[in-house]
Amino acid sequence: MDNVKDKIMSICQSGMDCNIQAGKILVEITASHPLIKLGQALPWQELVDLTLPDLKKTKAGSWWLGRKLKVRSHLGVYLLQQLFNKTDRQIEYDVKDNAAYQIFCGLGIVNKWHAPDHTKIEKFRSRLSEETQKKLANHMAVHAVRLGFGDPSDVDIDSTIQEANMIYPADSILLKKLGLMSNKVANFLNKKFDEYIKTPLAVNIKKITSTARDYFFLPKKSTKEIKDEKLTLLHDVVCEEVNDVIKICEELDESLIKTLPWNFKRTINQIRETGSQYLKDVKIFLTSGSIVATKRISFHLKEIACFTKGKLGKKYQFGRGFQLGRITGNFFFVDRCTSVRMDDKSSLSSIIETHQNIFGEAKINSVSTDKGYYSNKNEKLLVKKGVNDIGIQRPHNIKKIHPKPMTKERQEELVNRRSGIEPLIGHVKQGGQLGRSRMKSDKAIECSGYTSVLGFNMRQLIRCQKPPSMRKIA
């Protein structure tokens, strides 16, 4: 009978005939709340000190003039944004709506506190340089070591690809896009300048679109000759339609371009910098079949490369490479992207140097990597650095004696430990923008990679502060 009563549920319809009303409520945020515990554990003054040099760089140089920037509030919003991977508008709404977010951002301790507008959130983040955002990400790992949650003596190293916010760079798509950009500029000039009102620029966008459609919808079994013929026809049509616009964009005065709206200024600069050269490079590709080094794969991004790692479903990836290091405790530190590709072999010395810079004189007992990092030079480097167990996996054809031989059990242990970095990188990508960035400039895309590591390290700090029984296995 008791079991029957448990399954029965009565119905209450109170409040159905009333409208909700605005009012004040009291929300209690306990000391055990994850954000409260994280906020109490963070070294706020050290984080502020890292950002101040960038914040003091103003055009006039007088950073002490004007409306005061509440650094504690903005830094709190910035950290929350990376912790939960929010857009500027999303984090603005959440801070205004969530009491725990407000306390984390300084409510009650910052004079005249208020939630920042999304435009100010973007402006604060943009003022931070790439190097500063990298330092913030790495400083979280340093602080985790101080708190006893991490140990920098054991290091696993791997690289990953961050895909850029761009369309697939097929020539057919880029040729059509160049036509659309030229048409946009032509329509703007025809409306705003008397010279072009009398003799308007004309870009037959319908002709470009229909020619591109003929190429896009070719049968799958079409021969290479037919595809090249259609692509050549599209190239010729685009050249014919956009050449006049490209010449005008190249002849426009710099001072005049600066006065234009930002979106048209950006488009005109892209056409000036890339339009003419891109058409020449496509012509060379169509006639000779070879790709020249100057050929662009994006009009709005410069710092991108094509990667072919042979991953299932990802034959080609377009973006930049990042070098990541994991320490005991599953905290990451990231090396500065000095190049777009960040080749594994040549990057090992740099990431070891980064480890020494951020963790000081902490001795490295063991280092493990995959075969991509192997070279005799890298093994000698780790010997010189005093590493006891060198776990750089060797290709099978290497006959040189290992500089510091290990037992098979220890070698297998390092191989297995290194493989554990792969799912963790997946967590970094999933919780941030290291997988595919939503930013639209080279600087912002690089910074979003660093902030993904920052967000992951903060999530690990939250996890480590929980009781052992409540921790989820990463």
DSSP of 125-173: HHHS-HHHHHHHHHHHHHHHHHTTS-EEEEEEEEEEEEEPS-----HHH
Burial (Cβ within 10 Å: 0-12, 13-18, ≥19) of residue 212: buried
Same domain membership, residue 404 and residue 348: yes
Task: Identify the domain boundary among 73, 104, 127.
Answer: 127
Q: Are strands 151-163 and 366-369 parallel, antiparallel or unpaired?
A: parallel
The pLDDT > 90 percentage for the chain reads: 82
Placement of tokens 């006049």 in the chain = 244
- Mark whether 242 and 331 lie in a shared domain: no
Domain membership flag for residue 398: yes
Residue 473 has pLDDT above 70, yes or no: no
Contacts of 471 (CB under 8 A, 6+ apart): 463, 464
Could you tell me if residue 5 is inside a domain? no
Residue 39 lies in a domain: yes
The pLDDT of residue 21: 87
Q: Indicate the range of 6-10, 275-279, 285-289, 320-324 predicted with least confidence.
A: 6-10
- Residue 298 domain-assigned? no
pLDDT at 472 over 90: no
pLDDT at 4 over 70: no
Domain finish residue from 288, 314, 332: 288
Per-residue pLDDT at 417: 96
Total number of domains constituting the chain: 3
Q: How far apart are CA 333 and CA 424, in angstroms?
A: 13
Comparing CA positions, the residue from 352, 343, 415 lying closest to residue 379 is 352
In a domain, 294, yes or no: no
Q: In this structure, are 186 and 242 located in the same domain?
A: yes
The pLDDT assigned to 419 comes to: 95
The tokens for 468 are 């052992």
Does the structure show a pLDDT above 90 at 312? no
Position 3 in a domain? no
Ranked by mean pLDDT, the top range of 74-88, 279-293, 312-326 is 74-88
Q: Are residues 336 and 464 in the same domain?
A: yes
Are residues 187 and 69 located together in one domain of the fold?
A: no
Does 346 reside within a domain?
A: yes
Residues 340 and 215 reside in one and the same domain: no
Same domain, 315 and 464: yes
Q: Residue 458: inside a domain, yes or no? A: yes
Checking if the pLDDT of 217 tops 70, the result is: yes
Domain range for 379: 130-166+304-470
- Contact indicator for 30, 100 with CB cutoff of 8 Å: no
Q: Summarize pLDDT for 159-205 with one digit per residue, the tens.
A: 999 999 999 999 999 999 999 999 999 999 999 888 888 888 999 99
Residues 228 and 326 in one domain: no
474 bridge partner residues: none
Residue 196 token pair = 């072009």
Using a pLDDT cut of 70, give the percent of the chain over it: 97
Residue with more model confidence, 67 or 423: 423
The DSSP bridge pattern shows strands 305-307 and 317-328 to be: antiparallel
Q: Are residues 181 and 162 in the same domain?
A: no
Q: Do 160 and 309 reside in the same domain of the chain?
A: yes
- Do 423 and 321 belong to one domain? yes
Residues 223-234: what's their mean pLDDT?
Answer: 95
* 209 and 78 share one domain: no
